[in-house]
Amino acid sequence: MDTGTPAAADTNKQPRTERGRRTLRKLLDAAAVEFGERGFHDASISGITARAGTALGSFYTYFDSKEAIFQALVRDMSEAVKVAAREALAEPASALERERAALTAFLRFAAEHKEVYRIIDEAEFVDPESYRQHYETTGARILDRLREGARKGELRADLEEAHAWAIMGMNVFLGLRYAVWGEGDLPAERVAAIAGDLLAKGIAVDR
């Protein structure tokens, strides 16, 4: 997971040399694998440095603690998810199509980066602040899109935050079920089509 600008570095010690920058990057990448595979508590600093190929002590040159690198990682990943969604939304389309495209992108990203799903979820227990921030930001972005759609007359005018959270929950659980657990059960497009359809007309019989 290299997203270019490590959001994490803010809270931690910034390397001053190129060599330092490389070591920091290696640590973050190794941590993503370690946390993804073993979870926060079973992961160990020495596991991270072993994967990164650095000495144990070098970890503390860049991070104060296991929590600190985890937080750095969550913020990195939250950013990466956002970026992936933004790219999927590059081309203009109707509001409903945009939601469908966003879900497709998310499902693909989740299938590709199952560790991201796991790490962000585990943040609920390890770094609640980041967890909350991630979902509040994501929810706010969805709400923005809904309002944009309403402005264009494509969506109802009374949509509010709860609608955004409902959509986000849908997406996340469909990601859990079909991208993380049951990859192959149903292709991303199909899942996104079902959800898109639900958003378009609801589930009641056609009136």
Q: Which of residues 8-67 bind DNA (CB under 7 A)?
A: 13, 15-17, 19-20, 22-23, 42-46, 54-61, 64-67
Smallest gap from Cβ 13 to DNA, in A, equals 7
Q: Which of residues 103-132 bind a copy of itself (CB under 8 A)?
A: 121-122, 124-125, 132
- In the list DNA, a copy of itself, none, the entry touching 13 (Cβ below 5 to 8 angstroms by class) is DNA
- In the list DNA, a copy of itself, none, the entry touching 74 (Cβ below 5 to 8 angstroms by class) is none
Task: Pick from 133, 137, 159, 189 the residue near a copy of itself by CB under 8 A.
Answer: 159
Tokens of 93: 């389309």
Smallest gap from Cβ 131 to a copy of itself, in A, equals 10
Q: Is 165 in the site for a copy of itself (CB under 8 A)?
A: yes
* Contacting residues for 70 by C-beta, under 8 A, at least 6 apart: 31, 35, 40, 119, 123, 126, 127
Nearest in space to 38 (alpha carbons), one of 115, 96, 97, 100: 115
Q: Is 94 in the site for DNA (CB under 7 A)?
A: no
> How large is the angle between the packed helices 188-201 and 161-174, nearest 10 degrees?
150
DSSP string, 33-93: HHHHHHHHHH--HHHHHHHHTS-GGGHHHH-SSHHHHHHHHHHHHHHHHHHHHHHHT-S--
**Whole-angstrom distance, CA of residue 37 vs CA of residue 43:** 8
Which CB, 28 or 192, lies closer to DNA? 28
Smallest gap from Cβ 64 to a copy of itself, in A, equals 15
**Whole-angstrom distance, CA of residue 31 vs CA of residue 52:** 8
**Whole-angstrom distance, CA of residue 187 vs CA of residue 199:** 19
Nearest in space to 66 (alpha carbons), one of 97, 38, 89, 35: 35
Task: Pick from 22, 41, 86, 151 the residue near a copy of itself by CB under 8 A.
Answer: 41
Residues that bind DNA (CB under 7 A): 13, 15-17, 19-20, 22-23, 42-46, 54-61, 64-67
Residues that bind a copy of itself (CB under 8 A): 39-41, 96, 121-122, 124-125, 132, 135, 139, 146, 153-156, 159-163, 165-174, 176-178, 181, 186, 190-191, 194-195, 198-206
